[in-house]
Amino acid sequence: MKKMTKLAAMAAALCLGAALLAGCAGAADNGAADNGADNGAAANPEATTLIVGLDNAYPPYGFIGDDGNLTGFDIDLATEVAKRNGWNLELEAIDWDAKDALLGQGTINCIWNGFTMEGREGKYAFSKPYMHNEQVVVVKKDSGISKLEDLADKNVMTQADSAALDVLEGDQKALADTFAGGKAQTIGDYNNAFMQLESGAVDAVACDLSIADYQMAAKPDMFVKLEPLSTENYAVGFAKDGDTAMVDAVNKTLKEMYDDGTIAQLCEKWGEYGITIDNWVLVD
Nearest-10 Cα torsion for 276, 191, 238, 34? -110
pLDDT of residue 2: 35
205-218 residue pLDDT tens: 999 998 998 899 88
pLDDT of residue 35: 45
What's the average model confidence in pLDDT over 157-183?
A: 96
What's the average model confidence in pLDDT over 86-95?
A: 96
Q: Helices marked H in the chain — which ranges?
A: 2-35, 73-85, 99-105, 163-169, 173-176, 190-199, 209-218, 244-259, 262-269
Helical (H) or strand (E) element with 239:
strand 237-239
pLDDT of residue 23: 37
pLDDT of residue 138: 98
Using the predicted structure, report yes or no on whether residue 170 has a pLDDT greater than 70: yes
- Sign of the alpha-carbon torsion through 240, 246, 247, 248: positive
Instruction: Please tell me which residue, 4 or 266, carries the higher pLDDT value.
Output: 266
Other beta carbons within 10 angstroms of residue 155's beta carbon come to 17
Q: Where do the structural domains in the chain lie, given as residue ranges?
A: 44-130+235-279, 133-232
pLDDT of residue 46: 79
Domain 133-232 in CATH 3.90.1170.20? The answer is: no
Band of the pLDDT at 4, cuts 50, 70, 90? Answer: very low
Other beta carbons within 10 angstroms of residue 16's beta carbon come to 10
Instruction: Please tell me which residue, 10 or 147, carries the higher pLDDT value.
Output: 147
Burial 205-234 (b: 16+ CB within 10 A, else e): bbbbbbbbbbbbeeeeebbbbbeebbebbb
Using the predicted structure, report yes or no on whether residue 149 has a pLDDT greater than 90: yes
Same fold, 44-130+235-279 and 133-232: yes
pLDDT of residue 80: 98
Using the predicted structure, report yes or no on whether residue 95 has a pLDDT greater than 50: yes
Q: What percent of the chain has pLDDT over 90?
A: 76
13-22 residue pLDDT tens: 434 344 433 3
pLDDT of residue 243: 80
Instruction: Please tell me which residue, 33 or 133, carries the higher pLDDT value.
Output: 133
Instruction: Please tell me which residue, 262 or 9, carries the higher pLDDT value.
Output: 262
Using the predicted structure, report yes or no on whether residue 26 has a pLDDT greater than 60: no
Contacts of 41 (CB under 8 A, 6+ apart): none
**How high does pLDDT run on average in the chain?**
87
Give CA–CA dist 24/203, Å, rounded. 50
For residue 22, what is the DSSP state?
Answer: H
pLDDT of residue 272: 87
Using the predicted structure, report yes or no on whether residue 1 has a pLDDT greater than 60: no
| CATH architecture under which domain 44-130+235-279 falls | 3-Layer(aba) Sandwich (3.40)
The whole-model pTM stands at: 0.75
Using the predicted structure, report yes or no on whether residue 41 has a pLDDT greater than 60: no
Other beta carbons within 10 angstroms of residue 251's beta carbon come to 19
